[in-house]
């Protein structure tokens, strides 16, 4: 069996709410793999909740930009939230999102693109901004959405300025219907996505690995109930349907009214405008998602510098 690290036990407790000894045993049974240990605890009914802990806070801004049938999301990180309130930094993030939207380029190409009215590239302008502000920064990621016929809707949560905040959403809607109605629907869907974080638009495009992992967990849970095999299958299918309602956008309850399914809301708007609507794709950026931010003891740091 693998050696169990105290840090992994702590992480597993935070994610599942299980007891320390149960977490330790789960890690031992899973050869130290935290994800497998989460599943082990869930199968044993020992996990209070499989909470996601990948989103460790980091600072900076997420910027969105839409133009016609195109849209872009960009994340630029900084060391402190103080920088997010800096007008120079805000201007840079907004401009970079616009450049990314117009060019449709990848992140590395974006860094080499010309930054307006500076004689520098996007990457060089960031270096210049670091020198001015006095804090390290990084252009972390860029994403695009586009449609042939339809709209790209956007939403920014925890907004600090126009199109800038801590969470950014883009939603691509294909339809030949009324543009204003489509944008209104897209904005509401983007707000819904910000609140619920679905894993896919539809059941058909849900990651098969994610589905099989969930099925394995609920199967073990159902078997542990001691029911006959024919009842186990029914229990599993029922829980999988509930899983779809939790993680698939079109199957979720619409947070705006708290009762309708998203698919029914979309169908209602399609009927209203007299044209089919296809929610093609969405992208959600959460600032600092997946970045482990170093915790600094400033008092200790100052004391060390003073000798």
Which pLDDT belongs to residue 300?
56
Which tokens belong to 192?
């819904």
The torsion of the CA quartet 94, 99, 101, 104, rounded to 10 degrees, works out to -150
How far from each other are the two terminal CA atoms of the chain, in whole angstroms?
Answer: 45
* Positions of the chain with pLDDT lower than 50, given as ranges: 49-57, 296, 298, 301-302, 305-307
- Res 253: pLDDT: 96
Q: Domain-by-domain residue ranges, the chain?
A: 1-53, 59-177+277-286
pTM over 0.85: no
Cα 14 from chain centroid (whole Å):
20
- Architecture category of domain 1-53 in CATH: Orthogonal Bundle (1.10)
Q: Which helix (H) or strand (E) holds 9?
A: helix 6-16
Reported as a single tens digit per residue, the pLDDT across 13-48 is 767 767 778 888 889 999 989 889 888 888 877 665
The predicted structure's pLDDT at residue 278: 97
**Residue 182 DSSP SS3:** helix
Is the domain defined by 59-177+277-286 classed in CATH 3.30.479.20?
yes
Residue 173 · residue 151 · CB < 8 Å: yes
Query: Which pLDDT belongs to residue 299?
Result: 55
* pLDDT recorded at residue 122: 94
């Amino acid at each position: 069996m693998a050696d169990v690290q105290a840090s992994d036990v702590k992480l597993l407790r935070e994610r599942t709410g299980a007891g320390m000894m149960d977490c330790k045993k789960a890690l031992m049974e899973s050869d130290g793999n935290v994800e497998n240990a989460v599943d082990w605890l869930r199968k044993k009914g020992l996990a209070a909740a499989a909470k996601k802990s990948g989103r460790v806070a980091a600072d900076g801004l997420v910027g969105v930009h839409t133009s016609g049938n195109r849209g872009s999301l960009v994340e630029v990180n900084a060391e402190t939230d103080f920088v997010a309130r800096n007008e120079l930094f805000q201007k840079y993030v907004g401009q970079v999102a616009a450049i990314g939207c117009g060019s449709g380029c990848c992140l590395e190409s974006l860094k080499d693109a010309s930054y307006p009215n500076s004689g520098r590239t996007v990457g060089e302008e960031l270096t210049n901004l670091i020198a001015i502000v006095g804090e390290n920064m990084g252009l972390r990621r860029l994403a695009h959405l586009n449609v042939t016929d339809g709209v790209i809707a956007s939403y920014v949560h925890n907004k600090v300025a126009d199109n800038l905040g801590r969470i950014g959403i883009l939603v691509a809607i294909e339809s030949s219907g009324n543009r204003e109605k489509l944008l209104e629907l897209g904005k509401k869907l983007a707000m819904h996505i910000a609140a619920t974080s679905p894993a896919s638009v539809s059941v058909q495009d849900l990651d098969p690995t994610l589905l099989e992992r969930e099925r394995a967990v609920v199967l073990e849970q159902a078997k542990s109930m001691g029911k006959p095999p024919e009842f186990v299958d029914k229990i599993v299918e029922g829980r999988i349907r509930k899983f779809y309602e939790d993680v698939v956008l079109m199957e979720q309850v619409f947070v705006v009214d708290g009762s309708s399914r998203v698919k029914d809301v979309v169908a209602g708007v399609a009927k209203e405008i007299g044209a089919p609507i296809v929610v093609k794709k969405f992208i959600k950026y959460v600032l600092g998602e997946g970045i482990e931010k170093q915790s600094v003891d400033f008092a200790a740091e100052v004391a060390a510098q003073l000798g």
